[in-house]
Structure 1
Amino acid sequence: MKKKLLFTLLFLSTIGCFSQQKTIAELSAVPNPFTSSTKITFNADSKSSVVFTVKNVLGKTVHTQKIEAVKGKNSIPFYKGNLSTGIYIYTLQDKKHFTSKRFVIQ
């Protein structure tokens, strides 16, 4: 009984998450993994200010950049700079929503 109840609650919360309207969609980094640079692409529902942040796996912010996104497809070039090889989390955030994914620097 408890398993059915937990499954039902998990299922309903998952549906709720997927039904929320997102202003930033189709976030990706190509190539991933990369050695010197990658291109972050995303679609925006409207023109807005977006903050692009990169954090290491310990949660320390290693890069922040403000972007003026246009409605439709947008891209951000990202260069490794002095970052070490490893896994990083990149986030795009507008006034109401944020989306995060990971990329790997080789």
Structure 2
Amino acid sequence: MKRFLHILTTLITGLFLTVQLSAQCTPDPACLDTLQPGEYCPQDFPPLLLDLPYDEVITFILALELEYDGTTYTLDSIAVDSVRNIPPGLTYSSSATGYVPDSAYCSQLSGTPTQAGEFPIAFYLEPFVDFGSGPVSLGQFMDDTSVVITVYDPTGIEPRQADQFQVLPVVPNPFSEITRISFYTPYQDRVSLQVYNILGKLMYEETQSASSGEHQFVFNGNELLPGTYFYRVINSRNLYTGKFIKSK
């Protein structure tokens, strides 16, 4: 099912292609499928935040082959008969209702999410293959494991910077034992915390793998002497520096 799930990936980033037909979106000509495994653009999507307007156009290109029920087929086309469990407040539109390999399509996800949470999307799909006498349906089936849309409650996050890495205020600061350094990442990444004393000596370091959303480092300063310390929060693209005070 790996190649078939890849087809689903290109479809889901088109986000529910038959829910509503629309000519408003245009495929991005810069999105190319050079090795023909299927493609979608952009690779990093702006996150969905509760009660904040969202509008994103996705370009996708269907893969040439699919693996279905243990057999690899050359794909003629694929139809998305229906999609269910769409987050409340959002609508979807597409530039087409049927999809063939090696052609660029687009879809648009827009609206204002009204409910936070995770939404496993159920796709009702019908792939077609051609054995020489015309397209033949492989039958409809339902997939509800490939795509989960998450709508985040943006507590403490700057809405206008929701597509950027953010480090939130240290709470509490000053602190006597435990403090929390929270951060928000719009994409999956590895994020590190480093703590230095005023002489620049590294006192503590921790790294975590973070999915898209809000996370935190829970820092235990029991072994630190009272005083001022500097910290760095580092991801693959940014470095943020701040300071906190360890009290008695």
Shorter-chain TM band:
0.7 to 0.9
Q: Give the corresponding residue for 2:182.
A: 41
Q: Is the 8 A contact 2:167 2:184 kept in 1?
A: yes
Say how many residue pairs are matched.
Answer: 85
Return 5+ residue gaps in structure 1 as ranges: 1-21
Residue 50 (str. 1) matches residue 191 (str. 2): yes
| 1:1-106 mapped onto 2 (5 Å cutoff) | 23-106=164-247
Aligned-residue offset at 1:27: 2.6
Shift of 1:87: 0.6
Alpha-carbon offset, residue 36 of structure 1: 0.6
Higher relative contact order (CA 8 A, sep 6+): 1
Structure 2 segments unaligned to the other structure (5+ residues) = 1-162
* Higher strand residue share: 1
Distance of 1:25 and 1:40 partners within structure 2? 11
More helix by share: 1
After superposing on structure 2, the runs of 4+ consecutive aligned residues of structure 1 that deviate more than 2 Å are none
Counterpart-to-counterpart distance in 2, 1:57 and 1:100: 13
TM-score by length of 2: 0.33
TM-score (norm 1): 0.74
Quote the Cα distance in structure 1 between the aligned partners of 2:200 and 2:176.
21
Shift of the 25–104 alpha-carbon distance from structure 1 to 2, 3 Å rule, reads same
Quote the sequence identity (%): 27
Give, in whole Å, the separation in 2 of the partners of 1:78 and 1:24: 20
CA RMSD between the two structures: 1.4
